[in-house]
Amino acid sequence: MPPATAYCYHCGTHHPIEEMRQIATKGGGKRWRCIKSIQATKKAIAERDAFGKQVTAINKAESQSKARLTLNIK
């Protein structure tokens, strides 16, 4: 049985629940966030920017890969 996962609204990917924490939102709700993204917010601005750019690059590469696969299937 695969491990339970939750969607991290910060980095946009699914992680095992063990790597996630629920964070209270301004609106009173709760969202799942991975521990890695939570720890990244406690670092210096330059390090946070580097982490954000890394996540963006990963998400962009995944999106482009999916787009290429979709176009090649047709």
> What's the pTM?
0.56
**Cβ partners under 8 Å of residue 18, min gap 6:** 3
Across the chain, what does the average pLDDT equal? Answer: 87
31-64 confidence digits (pLDDT tens): 999 998 888 888 899 988 888 899 899 989 999 9
DSSP per position, 7-38:
E-TTT-SEEEGGGEEEEE-TTS-EEEEEHHHH
Domain total of the chain:
1
In the predicted structure, residue 2 carries a pLDDT above the cut 80:
no
Q: Which domain holds residue 10?
A: 5-73
Contact predicate 39/46, CB 8 Å:
no
Picking from 55, 5, 59, 56, the residue whose alpha carbon sits closest to that of residue 32 is 5
Q: Report pLDDT for 1.
A: 46
